[in-house]
């Protein structure tokens, strides 16, 4: 039975404000890969494959039937996808020369770690910038300081400089770890 405006409770949203799509019920069996888990949305992949299917469909079917197909065969098959104007880089992992076997969960965890390291790098860069300013201020204060205060300011400036060098060293280490993990994630995505 349809509800009219008078039948609707004041706390309920009007029908026009409710979603018109069907609500999805939990599925039984193995869960599907969520949207945006591996490089882009499912709809973008579907559109790209639909557009490229005349060029790659037959070749992919043949590769599936052959037992000795390699990743190189798949790369050659996906070459025409590179030239598609609507390719936002979704198929880029197919063009990578190196690859690593990984499950979607491992890729997801590594991408999360990559995000955490990116945040840590941003914090370290902000900290470094703050110490750079402090070192510049200490140098300027040293030029204007009286002879009695010069030793104290010199000590503070050297401590600040030492801390700045340590922060830059840690930042380089974090950046190297992040770059290594980024390469690993790209290989896993491939």
pTM (2 d.p.): 0.49
**How much of the chain exceeds pLDDT 90, in percent?**
4
Confidence of residue 94 (pLDDT cuts 50, 70, 90): low
Q: CA nearest 157: which of 124, 133, 189? A: 133
Sign (positive or negative) of CA dihedral 45, 47, 50, 52: negative
If we measure between CA atoms, which residue out of 94, 48, 70, 87 comes closest to residue 187?
A: 94
Tallying the residues shown for the chain, one arrives at 190
Asked if residue 24 has pLDDT above 60, the reply is no
């Amino acid at each position: 039975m349809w509800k009219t405006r008078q039948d609707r409770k004041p706390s309920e949203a009007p029908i026009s404000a409710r979603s018109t799509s069907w609500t999805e019920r939990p599925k039984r069996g193995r869960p599907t890969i969520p949207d945006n888990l591996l490089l882009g949305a499912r709809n973008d992949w579907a559109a790209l494959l639909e557009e490229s299917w005349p060029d790659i469909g037959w070749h992919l079917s043949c590769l599936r039937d052959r037992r000795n197909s390699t990743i190189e065969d798949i790369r050659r098959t996906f070459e025409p996808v590179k030239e598609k104007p609507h390719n936002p880089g979704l198929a880029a992992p197919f063009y990578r020369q190196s690859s690593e076997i990984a499950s979607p969960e491992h890729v997801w965890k590594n991408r999360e770690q990559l995000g955490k390291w990116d945040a840590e790098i941003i914090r370290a860069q902000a900290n470094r910038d703050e110490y750079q300013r402090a070192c510049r201020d200490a140098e300027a204060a040293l030029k204007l300081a009286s002879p009695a205060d010069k030793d104290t300011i010199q000590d503070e400036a050297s401590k600040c400089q030492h801390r700045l060098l340590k922060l830059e060293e840690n930042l380089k280490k974090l950046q190297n770890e992040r770059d290594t993990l980024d390469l690993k994630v790209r290989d896993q995505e491939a």
